[in-house]
Chain A
Amino acid sequence: AQTVTQSQPEMSVQEAETVTLSCTYDTSESDYYLFWYKQPPSRQMILVIRQEAYKQQNATENRFSVNFQKAAKSFSLKISDSQLGDAAMYFCAYRSAWRQGGSEKLVFGKGTKLTVNP
């Protein structure tokens, strides 16, 4: 079974600075998706960024980028120019790709609570 580990329960960053959230995962599959979801106090789960394992290029979405290291099974999220609205819980998640067959479920890490200080 796949597992996702987020080793930082809490992180803080100054407004306008850069912060990196860590995520590692364990799988024997070769094809899969990785995601970062954001959960603000409203508790809505919002997709921040996604990465397909067969793509070597790291995904970017405006101020958000990932460092995907497939061999190391590492998938970190970098937030640049942090804003007060970035304060939230961030969840790393894994999902098998369709070629693998098997379960379609999303497997989550425990989350990292990000605080942005003005």
Chain B
Amino acid sequence: DARVTQTPRHKVTEMGQEVTMRCQPILGHNTVFWYRQTMMQGLELLAYFRNRAPLDDSGMPKDRFSAEMPDATLATLKIQPSEPRDSAVYFCASGPTLRVPTNTGELFFGEGSRLTVL
């Protein structure tokens, strides 16, 4: 059963530490998205990729966050240094590009990584 895999599921760290979250998109999906979920802001887009190229990272704090796709099977989201306000659930989602007319439009989500920064 194809699914998006995220690691870690839970992470507790101290302020100032580096945090790396990983995502394995569904095989064959060429768009990958990172969302952050908080009680106050809801679900916000941080970054997204098409064919491993970053297309939109306007929602991401550039000074401390970075997102990459080293290859088609791995997307990473890094926070350095982490701060308490980064505490949230981070979701990765993947899907076929909308540029394919037969696309149903659906995005498939991982189970999320819950980050707590003390």
Binding site for B on A (CB under 8 A): 33, 35, 37, 42-45, 47, 50, 52, 91, 95-98, 103-111
Contact = CB atoms under 8 A, between A and B. Distances in A.
Contacts, number: 59
28 contacts: A33-B104, A35-B105, A35-B106, A37-B109, A42-B111, A43-B114, A44-B111, A45-B91, A45-B112, A47-B106, A50-B105, A91-B43, A95-B98, A95-B107, A96-B98, A98-B98, A98-B101, A98-B103, A103-B48, A103-B55, A104-B31, A104-B95, A104-B97, A105-B48, A106-B45, A108-B43, A110-B42, A111-B42
Interface residues of B, number: 27
B110 to A, nearest CB: 9
Nearest to B108: A47
A98 B103 CA distance: 8
Nearest to A98: B98
Contacts of B50: 104
Pick the most buried of B33, B97, B109: most chain A CB atoms within 10 A of its CB. B109
B100 interface: yes
A33 B55 CA distance: 20
Given A91-B43, A110-B42, A98 B106 contact: no
Nearest to A107: B45
Chain B: interface secondary structure? strand
A97 B105 CA distance: 7
A95 B101 CA distance: 14
A4 B106 CA distance: 17
Given A47-B106, A50-B106, A105 B42 contact: no
Interface string B74-118: 000000000000000101010101111101111101011010000
A30 to B, nearest CB: 15
B109 A45 contact: yes
A108 B42 CA distance: 8
A95 B105 contact: yes
A111 B35 CA distance: 15
B109 A44 contact: yes
Nearest to A96: B98
